[in-house]
Amino acid sequence: MDVKKESLELGKETITLLIECGTQIDDIYRRFRELRLRCNELSFQSALLNVEHAFFMVVQSMNILREQIKLLEVAKEKKEVE
């Protein structure tokens, strides 16, 4: 199979997985946030906030990955990739 075509197909698979994974990550993030809001201990709230921030960074990375995969499709449409 052509490497360029295979890359685009793999990109589509990856987008599907990112959407599925993103939904699960969002659910887990909300659960951690709820726990932080219910927590009375300030130091543990801080630790939970750090976990929330890590989730944010993961989601940002996933968004960057998704955009880079879409750029493959744009390059294909502009005939920059055959």
Please report whether residue 64 resides in a domain: yes
In this prediction, residue 75 carries a pLDDT of 84
Give the Cβ contact number of residue 82 at 10 Å: 8
Domain count, the chain: 1
Nearest CA to 49 out of 18, 62, 41 is that of 41
pTM of the full structure: 0.78
11-61 pLDDT per residue, tens? 999 999 999 999 999 999 999 999 999 999 999 999 999 999 999 999 999
Please report whether residue 82 resides in a domain: no
Please report whether residue 11 resides in a domain: yes
Please report whether residue 33 resides in a domain: yes
Could you list the residue range(s) of the whole structural domain that residue 26 is in?
A: 3-76
Confidence of residue 77 (pLDDT cuts 50, 70, 90): confident
Nearest CA to 51 out of 68, 71, 34 is that of 34
Please report whether residue 81 resides in a domain: no
Secondary structure tally for the chain: helices H, strands E: 2, 0
